[in-house]
Structure 1
């Protein structure tokens, strides 16, 4: 990888992280972190793996991520120009926007009247999914890594044997008796 390729990859990563952080904000990873605005004290979409989900082969977006980052930075430059905002040239344009301006731009991009709405709304949805359900990770692995979203929503980890059991019914009552031929492991025969 060339130095230019490394810078390009860094710019793409920072841009997409800044977008994910705008959707579900989190705490800065370190004081110099520019992608994460740090408007929250808990982990957000970035720490939950939003970029891993966006790049996951099953999603089919990996080849489009460079273009999305470039497009997002173009929109950020236009947004800044229209508002006469000075952007720090040492970081991608979207990253250079403060959190309120990032939010305003994302609101524009996801507005029903915007021609690219479906793209940006979809990316926002995947960022939220990374936090809410960790679809890019096996659930046991997500727990082992201390996934912030699953912890926040109170998703219970499996038992010591790796199986999930629910001793308390969500409706506070059993809805149906198990089928008479259900095995001890819960499988129907």
Structure 2
């Protein structure tokens, strides 16, 4: 899927630098992060981290994707995505500018266009990005998948460490802690009964022989 995203970005967005206006180069990282945070917060909303936290709309209480590390996942060195993030953010802001212009919505010039939209308009725009005929749909699908992974599974952290550190997404979902030896076991079967006998050659860690 990463290869698919890289290919999609290369075709639809081009090299990231070509999408960034020269005037925004100084604040490139800041504006990129703000845009990605606003996108993540639209998918999995959370409460504001501090007064004046504009990327997070603050429409709900409790942690959202940003607090759960969505941007850290997107910037992970394990993914070939980092060089493309400024271009992806610029593409989203271009779409936001067009969205606002059609609807005569005033956008502040001191923040990225997408961040300048209200939560309702962010939601409407992001919903349209997943239309079947949207040329950049694969990009938004991949960003959405990685955003949800950050909240649902703390994919950028070791699971045991994430639970120990009270990762906001896992804690909010009530993810259980491991047993004292660091392994997860479940005393109750999902269907109320065992579906099969344990294979005699199963290893102590639970892996098949």
1:127 matches 2:147: yes
What displacement does 1:181 show? 4.1
What displacement does 1:57 show? 2.6
Higher mean C-alpha deviation, range 130-139 or range 141-150:
141-150
What residue number does 1:47 align with? 67
Unaligned runs of 5+ in 1: none
What residue number does 1:26 align with? 46
Computed over aligned residues only, the root mean square deviation of the Cα atoms, in angstroms, reads 1.8
How does the TM-score come out when normalised to structure 2? 0.82
SS in 2 for 1:108: helix
Whole-Å separation in 2 of the counterparts to 1:73 and 1:183: 51
What residue number does 2:172 align with? 152
What residue number does 2:194 align with? 174
What displacement does 1:183 show? 5.2
SS in 1 for 2:105: coil
What residue number does 1:77 align with? 97
Whole-Å separation in 2 of the counterparts to 1:103 and 1:54: 20
Whole-Å separation in 2 of the counterparts to 1:120 and 1:181: 44
Whole-Å separation in 2 of the counterparts to 1:181 and 1:22: 47
Whole-Å separation in 2 of the counterparts to 1:77 and 1:98: 13
Structure 1 residue aligned with 2:116, among 81, 96, 120? 96
- The Cα offsets for residues 117-175 of structure 1, whole Å up to 9 and x where unpaired, read as 11112211211121111221110121122122222333211122212121122222122
Question: How many residues get paired?
Answer: 186
Change in CA separation of 1:97 and 1:171 when aligned onto 2, cut-off 3 Å: same
- Structure with the bigger RCO (C-alpha within 8 Å, sep 6+) is 2
1:141 matches 2:123: no
How does the TM-score come out when normalised to structure 1? 0.90
Does structure 1 conserve the Cα–Cα contact (< 8 Å) formed by 2:130 and 2:141? yes
Does structure 1 conserve the Cα–Cα contact (< 8 Å) formed by 2:63 and 2:172? no
